[in-house]
Structure 1
Amino acid sequence: MDVSSTANGGQTARAVSAIRQRISARALSPGARLPSIRSFARTMGVSTSTVVEAYERLVAEGLIQSRPGSGFYVTRVPQPLALAEIGPRLERAVDPFWVSRQSLEAAADALKPGCGWLPASWMPEAELRKALRQFARAEAGHLVDYGTPLGHPLLRQLLSLRMSEQGVVAPADQILLTESGTQAIDMLCRLLVEPGDTVLVDDPCYFNFLALLRAHRVKIVGVPWTPSGPDLAAFAAALGEHRPRLYITNSGLHNPTGAMLSPATAHRLLALSGEAGLTIIEDDIFGDFCEGPAPRLAALDGLDRVIQIGSFSKTLTAAARCGYIAARPEWIEPLSDLKIATTFGGNPVSADLVYAILRDGSYRRHLNGLRDRLARARGDVASRLRALEIHPWIDPRGGIFLWCELPDGLDGAEIARRALAEDVVLAPGNVFSVTQSCATFMRFNVAQCTDERVFAVLKRVIAAATV
């Protein structure tokens, strides 16, 4: 076999794949002019003849066309956006979508220590049923009409009071209800960033931040996370080098690590952000799990450059989706317009359900019992994991997660693949990392680790992986 021809063939295939990926990701839309042959050859580090051959293959496929004297242009309407194809291919077999799909589609008897929600038996089922019965007796219009753009006014007033307990001053007219925390971030990205802008995230961070930001075609830059918050030196360097438009983080309880932002880090973070003109989205979805006071950036900033979002999917129900955005007054109207454009009137049924449970005190009672139950589960699960040489990064002061390092430098993705074969869904570290620097870590949901089979499977797959 001619080794040089084989190598050239591989380079041509690589060039073809690069163009296809740009078109699929809509970086090159129909009618767009491709880079010149010389320019693309320099970019790819190949010869011009390799690029000529690659372009000729794409012309033969009808994906591009040649215009003599002008260049090559995209002709075909691209296929629908495939989010799984955006971003690096590294660890694609076990990526955020893999974890989410396996968790959502798992059989009833499957174990899901890698998922991000509580078991159904831990939720306030009786209170939910009671609230549903009350709602069923509402007037007909209340059952069938659209909601208002801002959302349920009484729930917004109640949210305003609850946020004030954390020091966040947010009048009801500065709160907009959404159908979820994810929708809240999606709307804010539509409002605040354009394709090509840079957005900072923690490294590691909640993996759906990465998936959602890729859908918005922004550049994602990770800032290392420490037990007290983002690494401030790295944060300052990222501000100077990348000039980001946005930073998305958790501060009450961090996902996946369970860490809390320290007051000193919070103050310095806001000072750096203010100097750089950076807007911050503070996702407080796990805030109700906190067992003590924790700084809120929105409280320290006064909702100036910080936007706080949240939802009740983790603590109350994921079946009736209800989230919120608290932001400065001048951002609420354009966000309302976006809500009308994308969902029209929101979901008044879910909002009324949440309001009914929050107003009668049953939610507070549920949270008190839940925090106690989670504290016991964290201690028990941490002990069981240490017996397998799986060590928690920190001992969190609340929440459902333990961020753990695997023994002997084992690869989390490989452990997850082996465990899935035994109907156990795990969440390996690199799905949370934009820099892919968390391969030896794993996130465990302690509420989903009450079955003895979780630890039996872990013991087997770790032993098999170390052979």
Structure 2
Amino acid sequence: MARSGTRIQAVMAEIRSRIVSRTCLPGTRLPSVRAQARAMQVSVSTVVEAYERLAAENIITSRPGSGFYVAGPVAPLALTQLGPRLDREVDPLWVSRQSLEIEAAVLKPGCGWLPADWLYEAGVRRALRTLARADTPELTEYATPLGHPELRRLLSRRLHGIGVDARPDQIMLAESGTHAIDLICRFLLSPGDKVLVDDPCYFNFHALLKAHRVQVVGVPYTPHGPDVSCFEAALREHSPRLYITNSGIHNPTGASLSPVTAHRLLKLADTSNLVIVEDDIFADFETSAAPRLAAFDGLERVIHIGSFSKTISASLRCGYIATRGDWIESLADLKIATTFGGGRLASEALLIALTDSGYRKHLEALRLRLASQMQRTIVRLESLDIRPWLVPQAGMFLWCRLPPGSDAADIARACLTDGVILAPGNAFSQSPDAGEFMRFNVAQSADERIFEVLGRALEGR
């Protein structure tokens, strides 16, 4: 009986999966009971029972003499059902959810942010005390469509310091860096479009692009930026609409774009309709500024975005978009349509924190602390025969190759049972060798228990 029940549930799960992934839309005729039985190698009676149960749940309907059909309305979009089925442990959304939801006692060398006591807590507290005494509109009103004018003027000056010439009226505030990319995708993409990403890349790029129903094409990333020959081939073969990348410090590799590679990329982009989205979220970690595509391009086909969640506070949700003036108005309309006025309080607090006399000292101390922890983490990982792909000039990430014969997803699963969340390479890349790599956040890797758990997992592989 248990076996029969399991088979019936398997058929029901398969049909639900097709409906949730929108492979089967309302009104779609399901395979006949005999065809479904052959496809899943079960008995006809098993499929009949599964279909009847689904009909009882109003998920499908029976039309006598015709068959079974998907009932309406269209199922809510479930991102985990799109694309190839992966082990949940190596799915980008799983990594994010575990890092965000799990209790504080769990160790998180796989997460993408600093420990709470490494952030600019003192500056945030001073900003909030200042705002508590502010006029009522600062605490209660919507923001203007482009966002806080003085913060945009400050961002304009900061961008000028890295060679990006963006006037305040070419800058729009968003709710976060991710929200900025989402708005750009809504503005420029249609379902089925092709989008280039680095391989490997920040795993949430994959998740966000999946939500926009576009086709993602990976371009191998090198220590100096994307492989230019592969980039050229991808432009020729796929005619992509967007290329999304990190500037400054790359996630997950920690690499920096070279000037030669930047110039060659832009020269190739000039021959196409490609728009480049340059995510500069790690700018304040740099000890010396790497080239920015937006600086070379003058914001003609490059859109520059960023936020301060990595250095000031992830609770102050505020990002920005810097782009050509004729695109700002349309992006502002999209922002109103999706978030209306935006958050005013966060931008006010962020402006105060950024202009606080202590922020520069905070960054200097933070960079030194990261550099020191980077070296300690490298030494500790190398004792386990885990080698960095490169030693970054700055930042918090190490992209590492595991010992021969290791599988990153298996190691991550084993460590999870011992309270350590890792970020296996499979979440960042769909390449065949992705399972040989792991991303480590050095700021979250100070606890010796991480390496004890990791060592046991490697021994048991």
TM-score if structure 2 supplies the norm length?
0.90
Change in Cα spacing, 1:198 to 1:16, as seen in structure 2 (3 Å) is farther
Q: Deviations over 1:198-239 (max 9, x none)?
A: 111111100001011111111111111111111111111111
| Structure 2: segments with no counterpart, 5+ residues | 1-6
Kept in 2: contact 1:16–1:54 (CA 8 A): no
- Equivalent in 73, 86, 93 of residue 90 of structure 1: 86
| Structure 1: segments with no counterpart, 5+ residues | 1-9
What aligned pairs does 1:224-303 form with structure 2 within 5 A after superposition? 224-303=220-299
Secondary structure of the 1:254 match is: coil
| CA deviation after TM superposition for structure 1 residue 390, in Å | 0.4
Cα distance in 2 for partners of 1:329, 1:395 equals: 38
Kept in 2: contact 1:390–1:405 (CA 8 A): yes
Secondary structure of the 2:271 match is: helix
Q: Please identify, of 119-128 and 315-324, the stretch whose mean Cα deviation from structure 2 is larger.
A: 119-128
Q: Please identify, of 121-130 and 92-101, the stretch whose mean Cα deviation from structure 2 is larger.
A: 92-101
Q: Please identify, of 100-109 and 407-416, the stretch whose mean Cα deviation from structure 2 is larger.
A: 100-109
Cα distance in 2 for partners of 1:224, 1:53 equals: 49
Change in Cα spacing, 1:386 to 1:172, as seen in structure 2 (3 Å) is same
Equivalent position of 1:6 in the other structure:
none
Change in Cα spacing, 1:58 to 1:306, as seen in structure 2 (3 Å) is farther
- 2:141 corresponds to 1:141: no
Q: Deviations over 1:49-103 (max 9, x none)?
A: 99x9999899754556688999986433243221111121133333112211221
Counterpart AA for 1:118: L
- 2:218 corresponds to 1:222: yes
Q: Deviations over 1:407-457 (max 9, x none)?
A: 123011111111111111111111001345310110000001111111111
- Equivalent in 94, 102, 105 of residue 106 of structure 1: 102
Kept in 2: contact 1:429–1:438 (CA 8 A): yes
What aligned pairs does 1:51-450 form with structure 2 within 5 A after superposition? 61-62=54-55, 74-435=70-431, 437-450=433-446
Secondary structure of the 1:210 match is: helix
| CA deviation after TM superposition for structure 1 residue 285, in Å | 0.4
Change in Cα spacing, 1:67 to 1:268, as seen in structure 2 (3 Å) is farther
Cα distance in 2 for partners of 1:218, 1:281 equals: 16
- Equivalent in 421, 438, 453 of residue 457 of structure 1: 453
- Let me know the Cα RMSD of the aligned residues: 2.8
Change in Cα spacing, 1:262 to 1:424, as seen in structure 2 (3 Å) is same
| CA deviation after TM superposition for structure 1 residue 26, in Å | 2.8
Counterpart AA for 2:213: R
| CA deviation after TM superposition for structure 1 residue 29, in Å | 3.2
Counterpart AA for 2:377: V
Kept in 2: contact 1:114–1:443 (CA 8 A): yes
Secondary structure of the 2:109 match is: coil
Secondary structure of the 1:275 match is: coil
Change in Cα spacing, 1:125 to 1:16, as seen in structure 2 (3 Å) is closer
Change in Cα spacing, 1:145 to 1:18, as seen in structure 2 (3 Å) is same
Change in Cα spacing, 1:53 to 1:86, as seen in structure 2 (3 Å) is farther
Counterpart AA for 1:394: L
TM-score if structure 1 supplies the norm length?
0.88
Kept in 2: contact 1:220–1:434 (CA 8 A): no
Cα distance in 1 for partners of 2:201, 2:301 equals: 21
Kept in 2: contact 1:168–1:302 (CA 8 A): yes
| CA deviation after TM superposition for structure 1 residue 23, in Å | 3.1
| CA deviation after TM superposition for structure 1 residue 246, in Å | 0.8
Cα distance in 2 for partners of 1:190, 1:213 equals: 10
Q: Please identify, of 55-64 and 274-283, the stretch whose mean Cα deviation from structure 2 is larger.
A: 55-64
Secondary structure of the 1:325 match is: strand
What aligned pairs does 1:2-17 form with structure 2 within 5 A after superposition? none
